Amino acid sequence: MSRFSLIPFWRYPLLFCLFSGVLLLLASCSQNTTAGQTSTQAGGTSTQGCDIEVSWAVGYGSLKELKQARVLDLTVQGTFTAIQSTQGQASPSGQNNLLSTDFTFLISKVLLDPHHFLKDSYSKITIHQTGGSIGNTLHQVCGDPLFGIGEEAILFLQQLSPGHYFVMGGPSGRFDVRKGLVQPINDEGVKLPQGATEQQFYTLLSAA
């Protein structure tokens, strides 16, 4: 029978240093991998990237498709100012499409209002979105991150009830506005020129 014994590292200082270095490197890689799976949302909550898979019934690949969609009720620009409420609860696996959140959205510019729903151009409306925070854990749709307080956006909306809306086509009806530039929230929907300004977006929408 073979007999194995541990190497007395104190007798081999160079080998001990190399072994320690490998352990530190592995620990660092593990921490970086974990950090790569987290994101910081409004309120400073650190959570995993996404855990709700959704197949959108309808997607939009151009501003023309969004603008001419029969279900379009409103296109507005503005800022998310508050979380009103979160409904539902997460399942043990962390996935639950019934979990949803209502946000307060302060309108700064009305781009399309085909049914004249808004009497006040600077209205506050409610935006309904799948996902939400439970405790310190954020549950959100992959490709459609939960809105953040202070986030500015251009949204193509369908009405649920008076004053209460949801974004058409999930992420394809949502555009991020930052430092005067407009970009879609991900690469799966409408394509815009790189570095498109707000004025360029308005022009493209008007021509669609």
Q: Return d(Cα 207, Cα 63) in angstroms, integer.
A: 9
Q: Are strands 164-167 and 124-134 parallel, antiparallel or unpaired?
A: parallel
Q: Minimal CA–CA distance to 144: which of 170, 126, 117, 106?
A: 170
pTM of the model: 0.73
pLDDT higher than threshold 80 for residue 200: yes
Q: 10 Å Cβ neighbour count for 85?
A: 10
Contact by Cβ (8 Å): 94, 51: yes
5 phi and psi angles, rounded to 5 deg: -140, 150
3-state class (DSSP) for residue 159: strand
Domain ranges of the chain: 49-207
The predicted structure's pLDDT at residue 52: 77
Given this structure, which CATH class describes domain 49-207? Answer: mainly beta
pLDDT tens, residue by residue, 49-76: 687 777 677 889 999 999 999 999 999 9
Query: pLDDT of 140-162, one tens digit each?
Result: 888 899 999 999 999 999 999 99
Indicate the SS3 state at residue 47: strand
> Residue 47: is its pLDDT beyond 60?
no
Predicted pLDDT at 90:
60
- The more confident residue out of 93 and 205 is 205
